[in-house]
Every structure is written in C-alpha cells, then in structure tokens.
Amino acid sequence: MKTPTIGSPFVINMLEGAKRQGYDVRKILRENGIAPNILNEPKSRVTFQQFSNLSLALMQLLDDENYGIAGKPQRQNTFKLICYSAINSETVGRALRLIAEFMNILDNGLTFSVREMPSQVRYEISRRSDADIKNSYAIEHMLMAHHRTLCWMANMRIPILHVDLDYPAPSYSSEYRYIFYDAPVHFDQPQCTLVFSRPSMHLPNVRNLEQLKIFLRQMPLTLLSQTIESDDLSAQIRSWLERQLSKHQRAPDIQIAADQFELHPQAIRRRLHKEGTSYQEIKMETRRDLAINLLYYDRKSVEEIASQLDFSEASAFVRAFKKWTGLTPLAYRKLGSQRQVLNS
C-alpha cells in the first residue's frame, strides 16, 4: 500500500506533549507541511510522509521518542539501541523478550512482559500507579512499533490474534484496523496486550546488522509504510486497486476482482467480512487516500483527479470527497497549499 493516510485524531494526540510544554503547535504543523486548519475537521487526514515528518520533528524538539506523552521521556536513539540489542535474536519471540526487558529499564510508568500460554503468547503493557500517560497514542505507537519491528525481522506480517486496550473505544476506533493489521481490537480491558499464536513467535529472525542500519535510517516512515506482503485478501485487493486506479484509471467492481483473484464474488465477500471489511469499503478507502495524495502532491485539476479515480463526473467526486473529509477537494487543496507558502 503506497498511499494510505492517517486520521487527524492521531496527529492531535501526538501533539499533546508539545502543547503541554508550551510550544506553538500550529507553528509546528506549518513547519512540517500540515495546514493547522485541517485539524479542525474531524474527518481530516494526513499523508504518511506528513505524519512521519511531524513525528521526527517532535522527537527532535522534545528529545523524546514518545513525544512527551508517556510517563518519562524516551531519549533519541533509544529505539535504535533496543533494535541493536534485539537484532542478534534467533527468533522473533526472543527479540520480543529483549524489547520488553529494555523497555522496563526505561521506567516510564509502564511494565512490559511476555507471557507464554499453551497456544498463545501475550505481550502485555500494564500501567503502574504512578503512570502519567497523557493519551492513548503513547501506548498505541509503542505496540505498533514493536509489532512491526518483529514483522520486519521475520520479513512477513506476523498476525495478531487480537488486541486488548485498557481504555474506552474512541470515536475513530475504526482507524485501528490499519495500525494493527486488521486484528480485532477490544477496549476497556484490564491491560494493553498484543496476543500472538505461540508458533508465530518461533519464526526466525532473517535480518542482520547491516539491514538494520538501513531500516533505522528512515524511521518512522519505514514502520508506517511497511510493505511486507500480507496473506490478507484485503491488503492484496487494496494494492491491486491502487495499481488499477494509478495506471488504468479504473475502479473495478467485485466481479472483476473475483476474476483477478480466481475466487467467486461471494467467497471474496465472506473472506473480507472475516477480515473486518468489505470490497466497497476497501475501494472507498483506496480512492479517498489516492485523492488526498493527489491533492497534496500533484497539480492535476479536480476534473483530472475525478477521471483518474474513475468517477463518472467531477461533481460525483466532489460529493464523495466532502463525505470522506468534510471539505470539498478545492478547499482541501487550499489548506494543503498553505504549507508550500509557509515553507518557502
């Protein structure tokens, strides 16, 4: 997936530490290519590149890889040292144990543990009584980073059986499907946990130190845009639809998709339902994210973008885009163009 986008609630949560420390978050957003006004729209989204740029800027500004929203700062290069410690592990399960041990040394108000059960392995994060966690992204980004690092080590997507989170479901809970690779997410649980099958933790670590240096060079974009192939049909369909829209300007219906993947349409529906999505939802998200990327990074007209995304007419695209983001394409582009003026 080359063009996914991220909902603005994650951006707002990531900024909270800087805001609490008295920094001008609107200025920070402008400096990193995000028009501040776009965050007033609850449906607004940013590209991976924008999110990655903002993430790095906050880490450097605060000297904290946790953006000032965890119990204590995690100084820059801490994650690098964690990875250096784990890279010689023979299996991803051993790497996960080393990550947990290292995280406990940091003493950030959280306790990390790996618990083996007959058929499962649970990566658990518990809050201590003195934990000062500013918002949920402090924990979410740790879980995502640690899981995706294991995926990189194994060179495959390691399935999560389910995710437990110890806070109520936010209004944007549907966004978590991307963060945790379509795993079921349960809220209001006793602690935060990633649950894996026990055999998956025996997967070999196929990476070496030289590959790790390359992996770390473009962090956190390497985690956000992880391109490890997935067996999930939803991910395969998303990638195929991106190619169809980008190269052929068409958004095929489910029958054409069924022919492409050599499945009956009903079989596609059943498998996607099991993965928590549908063909229409994947097609909508693919068109939406391509539209946002084109409006930010391309000077094509609204009519040209509508045609590329296989809308029958520009007005249909405008209506769809307003439903997706709360703004018309031109209004969205105008907000995005502020970054070019302010950064020039």
pTM, to two decimals: 0.85
Give tens-digit pLDDT for 124-155. Answer: 999 998 889 999 999 999 999 999 999 999 99
Q: Would you call 100 helix, strand, or coil by DSSP?
A: helix
Mean pLDDT of 291-304: 89
Condensed to tens digits (0 to 9), the pLDDT of residues 259-282 reads 999 999 999 999 999 888 899 999
Residues 76 and 220 in one domain: yes
What is the token pair recorded at 140?
């979410």
**Is 256 inside any structural domain?**
yes
pLDDT computed for residue 240 by the predictor: 94
What pLDDT does residue 338 have? 53
Query: Which range scores top for mean pLDDT: 34-43, 46-55, 78-87?
Result: 78-87
Residue 34, in any domain of the structure: no
In sequence order, the β-bridge partners of residue 65 are none
Q: Which domain-ending residue is among 172, 189, 224?
A: 224
Same domain, 139 and 165: yes
Q: Are residues 218 and 139 in the same domain?
A: yes
Please indicate whether residue 2 or residue 247 has the higher confidence score (pLDDT): 247
Res 204: pLDDT: 97
Q: Are 74 and 214 within one domain?
A: yes
Please check the confidence at residue 317 and state whether its pLDDT lies above 90. Answer: yes
Of 203, 224, 245, the residue that ends a domain is 224
Residues 156 and 245 in one domain: no
Q: Which range of residues forms the domain containing residue 171?
A: 69-224
Of 188, 205, 224, which residue sits at a domain end? 224
Q: How many domains does the chain have?
A: 2
* Average pLDDT for 10-38: 91
Helix, strand, coil abundance in the chain, percent, nearest 5? 55, 10, 35
Residues 87 and 170 in one domain: yes
* Contact call for residues 210 and 128 (beta carbons, < 8 A): no
CA–CA dist 296, 315 (Å, integer): 20
Predicted local confidence at residue 336, as pLDDT: 64
